[in-house]
Amino acid sequence: IEVICRQLETEVANKIPIGVTGQTKAGVTHEITSWHQGRIFEKGPAVRYIEVLERGRKKGARMPAPRHLWEWLKRTPKGQAYVESVRQKYYQGAKSRSAIGEARFLRQAAFLKARAIGKYGTKPVKAFSRTYRERKQWAINRIETAVNNFVRS
């Protein structure tokens, strides 16, 4: 059960996108509740973010604070590409790569992304439910094989 739970925990963590602080994947954990049962769940500071990822955001909801998106835009390749596209679209003549210029592009990109999230919402990732659906039969087969091997020996 421990091996199966550990592998499923890793699969769930790999399906979750990189969060603002990078603690999201570390927030996925498991516990063995009895000799024949275990569970995968979220824990720690990333619980709220994982819940938003799992359910998604509704269309027309309040937009998130743009400052919460700054780190994501700086850290992820997708975020960096978005900032660069904003820079090219809105600041074509601006060639300044100074810290002040980059901060301006980042603030503008964060505001536009936050506004789009508020207006259009986000799709749910469903990392937990999708992994459960995909790997349920695999886990049952692993347990049956282990029990049969134990009985034979």
pLDDT of residue 120: 95
Is the model's pLDDT at 113 over the cut of 90? Answer: yes
Share of residues in the chain with pLDDT > 70 (%)? 92
Q: What is the DSSP string of 60-126?
A: TPPPPPTHHHHHHHHHSHHHHHHHHHHHHHH-TT----SHHHHHHHHHHHHHHHHHHHHHH-B----
Find tokens 């979220």 and name the residue: 42
Q: How buried is 40 (Cβ within 10 angstroms: 0-12 exposed, 13-18 middle, 19+ buried)?
A: buried
How many angstroms separate the CA atoms of 115 and 56, rounded? 15
Is the model's pLDDT at 73 over the cut of 70? Answer: yes
Q: Report the chain's terminal Cα–Cα distance, integer Å.
A: 19
What is the C-alpha radius of gyration for the chain, rounded to an integer number of angstroms? 21
pLDDT of residue 72: 84
User: Bigger pLDDT: 153 or 54?
Assistant: 54
CA distances from 84 to 5, 63, 106, 119, 131 (A): 40, 22, 9, 22, 34
Buried b (16+ CB within 10 A) or exposed e, 3-20: ebbeebbebbbebbeebb
Is the model's pLDDT at 91 over the cut of 80? Answer: no
Is the model's pLDDT at 77 over the cut of 80? Answer: yes
Is the model's pLDDT at 100 over the cut of 70? Answer: no
